[in-house]
């Protein structure tokens, strides 16, 4: 087993605290004993350490020795200190080497924290940081002086038992410490088992946190254990509380006649759903009527979850806590119990279902002429898979071919107009797996987005946009209407510095971006994605392109959606699996009935929580894919595969296999034919003797040498 080092870390540096004493009293001189008295250091070893640090501060010109043994702040530091706050708060980005970077709450450059200045902070903790006086041409550095909020205190890992204690080596690569567990707190766990451990305390002078095992997950390598481990590491619950299940079981499965009378009846209107083959939670359905004047009435019907899940219930509290469904490779962890997500709310064919609808009258140019929003009841005529709908689109034949082709034609026009208006076409490949009965991947493939996918996507985007416009756009308000609290899906403009760095990066690869305006930038992005499609550098460029962008989040403060080029946008179409959509349904119903504006602070807090949970769910989903990508190659060590060089670094070159899109490292010492050095500016490595070059995007054949399931890492070797 590969273990994180449990050797003693360097003594905690007091540099920041010592410097703060001098900066707070810049015109007062101290000797090292006086400094020791101020911070409570009384023993000889501690004083010797103080003297060593003070000597280093004199050497780097932070302090002056004004007379023998007496020290004062260097006056030249005063102007530097006046231009910055001495303390900031931010979030810890922890590295495996114990060093960290702080992402400031107020924005600006990250702050570097040396390993001996991290204290007892952990990854993602909210902390208070003392900023050291900045030296010219040096990065901003600091010391963590207080952990304000511990955001994570439970970890998944493998227990290794000694006589009277054990250590849990965590799966989390951002957790550099093993967790000490006394034997009395094993709670039935045995050596070598995967466990969930909770940090109970962290003694000041201890190098490792102390913990208690709160759950035994099972044997490492077992598929069910590994998937549960991923969920547990992100604190996603593995089951619903009993009171929530009881609430769900009480929900009536029949629809009363009084409820039907309150709604617009679409049960006799042709309606379909299009979903993945393995889907069970059908959020959305689409209806179509051809009107006598040649126009079309298109209805986007969304499961009316808000009718069944009401605020103040255990069911709603649990849905908010989860905020989203989580989709791992082999399972779904739903936001709502199965009786709701797969039965009562799921828009299954030939069943009456309660829906909240956005209905549009459109001409054959896909222009919206009229719109209506309200509660409805539907009865879907047919459930299509994406593959079935795609075959009808491609052949023109099949059940309901006329209706599907009309919808596809309208969706194609909507999509074209969206891109013409500045929407960016981010291409994201989704890796899928075929699994055997034990969960082992036996085949990998890329999920391809075709016209059937785009058909559904465009009508969902239309509904989301129009709902947001209805509430947020002043054009829809009467003169005396006040802005109403609403939940928006927002996406900010790219960070200018990141965008500039990306532009320079592209130039070295022979590509360009036109950043002269928002419209030209969007068009330039789309052109770039077309040019790199299928090339070796595609993944790397697309990854960096996404990183130049802000993250889309939920907020009550609307700034529009940059990537879609929509001034108003929300999420209305998936309330079975996203809590923000449920909030939107409740607010829309309230405002359609002329209700007063909701409490902004309450909804903003729920927006923030939903954004945070969405991020965690995405990370968990990626971890499950990464695990399966590595597992797929577990029995293929020694075999040779085609790949492309997807990255270059100081450690070696990264190669992505064409068969699985999994990425592995070829270290420089594995390149036996020559001594290679990194030409970082041109994204290549060069053999010193032979002049042989490996560059980003080159096709190579590689042998799978190492498969590390614990670290989810692959090691390759280039073969001729």
Least confident of 134-143, 628-637, 648-657, 688-697: 134-143
**pLDDT score, position 1:** 39
486 pLDDT above the threshold of 50: yes
CATH number of the domain that 54 lies in?
1.10.10.10
7 pLDDT above the threshold of 60: no
Residues 604 and 691 placed together within one structural domain of the fold: no
For residue 41, tell me if it sits in a domain.
yes
Residues 689 and 604 placed together within one structural domain of the fold: no
**pLDDT score, position 84:** 47
For residue 332, tell me if it sits in a domain.
no
**Contact (CB, 8 A) for 665 and 650:** no
For residues 11 and 336, which has the higher predicted lDDT (pLDDT)? 336
Q: Cα(559)–Cα(486) distance, rounded to whole angstroms?
A: 12
pTM: 0.83
CATH number of the domain that 693 lies in?
2.40.50.140
Strands 271-275 and 382-385: parallel
Instruction: Compute how many other C-beta atoms are within 10 angstroms of the C-beta atom of residue 331.
Output: 15
Q: 249: which residues sit within 8 A by CB, 6+ positions away?
A: 339
Beta bridge partners of 701: 642, 719
Q: Cα(72)–Cα(62) distance, rounded to whole angstroms?
A: 9
Q: How many C-alpha atoms does 20 have within 13 Å on its Cβ side?
A: 16
Residues 588 and 496 placed together within one structural domain of the fold: yes
Extract the tokens encoding 228: 């549960």
User: 205 falls in which pLDDT band (50, 70, 90)?
Assistant: confident
13 pLDDT above the threshold of 50: no
Inter-CA distances, 109 with 10, 57, 175, 497, Å: 26, 24, 23, 11
For residue 615, tell me if it sits in a domain.
yes
Instruction: Compute how many other C-beta atoms are within 10 angstroms of the C-beta atom of residue 146.
Output: 13
User: 85 falls in which pLDDT band (50, 70, 90)?
Assistant: low
Residues 657 and 620 placed together within one structural domain of the fold: no
Residues 468 and 545 placed together within one structural domain of the fold: yes
- The residue out of 625, 659, 684 marking a domain boundary is 625
**pLDDT score, position 82:** 46
- The residue out of 65, 83, 101 marking a domain boundary is 83
701 pLDDT above the threshold of 90: yes
- The residue out of 625, 658, 686 marking a domain boundary is 625
User: Where is 700: in which H helix or E strand?
Assistant: strand 699-708
* Residue-number span of the structural domain to which 690 is assigned: 634-719
For residues 107 and 144, which has the higher predicted lDDT (pLDDT)? 144
| DSSP three-state, residue 677 | strand
Backbone torsion region of residue 315, taken as left when φ is above 0, otherwise alpha when ψ lies between -120 and 50, otherwise beta: alpha
**pLDDT score, position 24:** 67
Top mean-pLDDT range of 11-15, 45-49, 162-166, 290-294: 290-294
Inter-CA distances, 454 with 186, 277, 361, 451, Å: 52, 16, 20, 5
For residue 146, tell me if it sits in a domain.
no
What integer is the mean pLDDT of 340-362? 97
What integer is the mean pLDDT of 245-251? 93
**Contact (CB, 8 A) for 674 and 692:** yes
Inter-CA distances, 650 with 495, 547, 647, 683, 714, Å: 26, 21, 10, 11, 17
Q: Cα(706)–Cα(641) distance, rounded to whole angstroms?
A: 14
479 pLDDT above the threshold of 50: no
Residues 590 and 639 placed together within one structural domain of the fold: no
Q: Cα(232)–Cα(225) distance, rounded to whole angstroms?
A: 10
Going along 61-164, which residue ranges are E strands?
63-67, 70-73, 87-94, 100-104, 111-113, 126-131, 141-149, 154-161
For residues 34 and 184, which has the higher predicted lDDT (pLDDT)? 184
78 pLDDT above the threshold of 60: no
**pLDDT score, position 145:** 87
Quick one: three-class SS letters along 153-214? CEEEEEEEECCCEEEEEECCCCCCCCEEEEHHHCCCCCCCCEEEEEEEECCCCCCCCEEEEE
**pLDDT score, position 134:** 64
User: 367 falls in which pLDDT band (50, 70, 90)?
Assistant: very high
Extract the tokens encoding 419: 């891109």
Residues 524 and 618 placed together within one structural domain of the fold: yes
For residue 310, tell me if it sits in a domain.
no
98 pLDDT above the threshold of 50: yes
User: 12 falls in which pLDDT band (50, 70, 90)?
Assistant: very low
Least confident of 103-112, 386-395, 455-464, 481-490: 103-112
Q: Cα(608)–Cα(621) distance, rounded to whole angstroms?
A: 20
| Average pLDDT over all residues of the chain | 90
pLDDT > 90: what percent of the chain? 65
Q: Cα(466)–Cα(359) distance, rounded to whole angstroms?
A: 10
| DSSP three-state, residue 663 | strand
Q: 314: which residues sit within 8 A by CB, 6+ positions away?
A: 241, 243, 244, 246, 247
Question: Across the beta sheet with 271-275, what order do the strands follow?
Answer: 264-265, 368-379, 352-362, 296-303, 284-290, 271-275, 382-385
- Residue 70: phi and psi, rounded to 5, are -120, 135
For residue 189, tell me if it sits in a domain.
yes
Residues 172 and 57 placed together within one structural domain of the fold: no
585 pLDDT above the threshold of 70: yes
Residues 612 and 659 placed together within one structural domain of the fold: no
For residue 254, tell me if it sits in a domain.
no
476 pLDDT above the threshold of 70: no
Q: 126: which residues sit within 8 A by CB, 6+ positions away?
A: 89, 90, 91, 147, 148, 149, 151
Top mean-pLDDT range of 101-115, 162-176, 518-532: 162-176
For residues 695 and 299, which has the higher predicted lDDT (pLDDT)? 299
User: Where is 329: in which H helix or E strand?
Assistant: none
| DSSP three-state, residue 427 | coil
What integer is the mean pLDDT of 543-552? 84
Count: domains in the chain: 4
402-453 pLDDT per residue, tens: 999 999 999 999 999 999 999 998 877 788 999 999 999 999 988 888 999 9
Least confident of 366-380, 517-531, 695-709: 517-531
Residues 666 and 610 placed together within one structural domain of the fold: no
Residues 177 and 199 placed together within one structural domain of the fold: yes
**pLDDT score, position 80:** 56
CATH number of the domain that 159 lies in?
2.40.50.700
- Residue 127: phi and psi, rounded to 5, are -135, 165
Q: Cα(667)–Cα(312) distance, rounded to whole angstroms?
A: 56
What integer is the mean pLDDT of 667-671? 90
User: 9 falls in which pLDDT band (50, 70, 90)?
Assistant: very low
Q: Identify the CA nearest to 528 among candidates 506, 558, 561, 546.
A: 506
Instruction: Compute how many other C-beta atoms are within 10 angstroms of the C-beta atom of residue 573.
Output: 24
Residues 523 and 575 placed together within one structural domain of the fold: yes
For residue 367, tell me if it sits in a domain.
no
Please report, to the nearest 10 degrees, the dihedral formed by the alpha carbons of residues 26, 32, 38, 43 taken in order: 170
609-636 pLDDT per residue, tens: 999 999 999 999 999 999 999 999 999 9
| DSSP three-state, residue 30 | strand
């Amino acid at each position: 087993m590969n273990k994180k080092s449990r050797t003693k870390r360097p003594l905690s540096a007091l540099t920041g605290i010592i410097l703060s004493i001098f900066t707070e009293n810049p015109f007062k001189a101290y000797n090292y004993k006086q400094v020791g008295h101020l911070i409570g250091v009384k023993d000889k070893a501690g004083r010797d350490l103080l003297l060593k640090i003070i000597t280093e501060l004199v050497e780097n010109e932070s302090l002056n020795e004004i007379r023998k043994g007496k020290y004062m702040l260097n006056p030249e530091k005063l102007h530097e200190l006046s231009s910055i706050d001495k303390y900031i708060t931010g979030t810890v980005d922890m590295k495996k080497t114990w060093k960290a970077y702080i992402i400031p709450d107020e924005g600006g450059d990250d702050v570097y924290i040396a390993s001996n200045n991290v204290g007892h902070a952990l990854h993602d903790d909210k902390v208070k940081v003392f900023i050291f006086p900045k030296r010219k041409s040096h990065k901003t550095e600091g010391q963590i002086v207080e952990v304000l909020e511990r955001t994570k205190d439970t970890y998944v890992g493998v227990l290794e038992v000694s006589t009277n204690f054990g250590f849990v080596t965590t799966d989390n690569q951002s957790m550099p410490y093993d967790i000490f567990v006394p034997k009395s707190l094993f709670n039935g766990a045995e050596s070598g088992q995967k466990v969930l451990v909770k940090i109970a305390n962290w003694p000041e002078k201890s190098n490792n946190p102390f913990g208690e095992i709160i759950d035994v997950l099972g044997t490492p390598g077992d598929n069910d254990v590994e998937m549960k481990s991923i969920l547990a590491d992100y604190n996603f619950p593995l089951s619903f509380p009993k009171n929530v299940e009881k609430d769900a079981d009480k929900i009536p499965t029949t629809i009363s006649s009084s409820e039907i009378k309150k709604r617009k009846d679409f049960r006799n209107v042709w309606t379909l759903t299009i979903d993945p083959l393995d889907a069970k939670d059908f959020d959305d359905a689409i209806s179509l009527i051809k009107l006598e004047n040649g126009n079309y009435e298109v209805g986007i019907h969304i499961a009316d979850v808000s009718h069944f899940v009401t605020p103040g219930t255990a069911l709603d509290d649990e849905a908010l806590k989860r905020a989203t469904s989580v989709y791992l490779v082999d399972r779904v962890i739903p936001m709502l119990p199965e009786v709701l997500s797969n039965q009562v709310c799921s828009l299954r064919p030939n069943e009456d279902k309660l829906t909240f609808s956005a209905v549009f009258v459109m001409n054959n140019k896909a222009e919206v002429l009229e719109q209506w929003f309200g509660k409805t009841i539907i009865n879907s005529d047919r459930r299509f898979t994406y593959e079935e709908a795609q075959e009808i689109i491609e052949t023109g034949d099949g059940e309901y071919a006329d209706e599907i082709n009309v919808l596809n034609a309208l969706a194609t026009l909507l999509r074209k107009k969206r891109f013409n208006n500045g929407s960016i076409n981010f291409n994201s490949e989704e890796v899928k797996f075929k699994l055997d009965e034990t969960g082992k991947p036996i085949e990998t493939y890329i999920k391809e987005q075709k016209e059937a996918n785009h058909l559904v996507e465009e009508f969902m985007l239309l509904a989301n946009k129009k709902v947001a416009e209805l509430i947020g756009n002043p054009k829809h308000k009467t003169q005396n209407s006040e802005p109403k609290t609403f939940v928006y899906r927002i996406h900010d403009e790219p960070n200018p510095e990141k965008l500039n760095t990306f532009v320079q990066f592209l130039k070295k690869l022979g590509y360009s971006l036109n950043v002269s305006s928002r419209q030209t930038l969007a068009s330039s992005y789309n052109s770039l994605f077309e040019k790199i499609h299928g090339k070796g550098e595609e993944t790397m460029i697309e990854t960096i392109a996404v990183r130049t962008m802000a993250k889309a989040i939920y907020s009550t403060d609307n700034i529009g959606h940059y990537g879609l080029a929509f001034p108003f946008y929300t999420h209305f179409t998936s309330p079975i699996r996203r809590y923000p959509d449920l909030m939107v349904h409740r607010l829309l119903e309230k405002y359609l009935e002329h209700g007063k504006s909701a409490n902004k602070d309450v909804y903003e807090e729920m927006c923030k929580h939903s954004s945070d949970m969405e991020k965690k769910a995405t990370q968990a989903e990626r971890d499950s894919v990464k695990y399966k990508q590595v597992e797929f190659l577990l029995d293929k060590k020694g075999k040779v595969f085609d790949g492309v060089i997807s990255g270059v670094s100081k450690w070696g070159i990264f190669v992505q296999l064409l068969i699985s899109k999994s990425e592995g490292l070829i270290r420089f010492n594995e390149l036996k034919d020559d001594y290679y050095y990194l030409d970082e500016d041109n994204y290549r490595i060069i053999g010193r003797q032979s002049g042989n070059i490996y560059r980003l995007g080159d096709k190579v054949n590689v042998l799978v040498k190492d498969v590390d399931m614990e670290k989810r890492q692959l090691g390759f070797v280039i073969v001729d």
